[in-house]
Chains A and B, each alone.
Chain A
Amino acid sequence: DADVTQTPRNRITKTGKRIMLECSQTKGHDRMYWYRQDPGLGLRLIYYSFDVKDINKGEISDGYSVSRQAQAKFSLSLESAIPNQTALYFCATSYRDEQYFGPGTRLTVT
């Protein structure tokens, strides 16, 4: 089984809808991250969490919110999806100086 899992893997939604992307990990790491990847732009950090009570905004947090339900779970929400949030979203965990990525969620907002 994968150490970092993301659900759903693919999602198509309409403008204005609320959507949640979920991330679970079995690595036992405290630190978790959400990134979005756009072609030609690399990965950009949306939010990160050092533990259940410590959540921080990243470079591009506007339009997103997160919830750290437990050490193993970190969810990303789009309160009202818009087309320019169409992207590939990655969850990651880290321990010391390495990050471990999930397989990604491809989100399309029409």
Chain B
Amino acid sequence: AQSVTQLGSHVSVSEGALVLLRCNYSSSVPPYLFWYVQYPNQGLQLLLKYTTGATLVKGINGFEAEFKKSETSFHLTKPSAHMSDAAEYFCASGDSGAGSYQLTFGKGTKLSVIP
């Protein structure tokens, strides 16, 4: 069974500082990996995804993530935080053999941006 661990349920950064949200996965097969963002009172929006190919993937709003198989990690980064980045972020994994048929989500990390 797959599992996803997000380190830190709450992360605070200053505006303009680096954003680093950590995600580790466990999977017996190469996974598909996703980051979703949830703004207050909204549904989840896909930020970026890794399926195959280049291990550094770029997403919307300046975010990127790197798939590191040796570390079973898929950490999300952004060089400079904006106030509008304050939201909850979810890492998810899917079985590459089944695509997004079933996603396993992490528990989420709430990002606060301090002015």
A residues lining the B interface (CB < 8 Å):
4, 31, 40-45, 48, 50, 58, 90, 92, 94, 96-104
Contact = CB atoms under 8 A, between A and B. Distances in A.
Interface of B: 9, 32, 36, 42-46, 49, 51, 90, 94, 99-103, 105-108
A42 B100 contact: no
A102 B44 CA distance: 8
Contact of A48 (B9, B42, B102, B107): B102
A99 B106 contact: no
B105 A97 contact: no
A92 B46 CA distance: 12
A40 B9 contact: yes
A90 B94 contact: no
Contacts, number: 53
Given A42-B106, A42-B108, A97 B32 contact: yes
Contact of A43 (B42, B46, B90): B90
A59 B27 CA distance: 17
B102 A58 contact: yes
Nearest to B46: A98
A90 B44 contact: yes
A31 B101 CA distance: 8
A97 B100 contact: yes
Given A40-B9, A43-B90, A90-B44, A98 B100 contact: yes
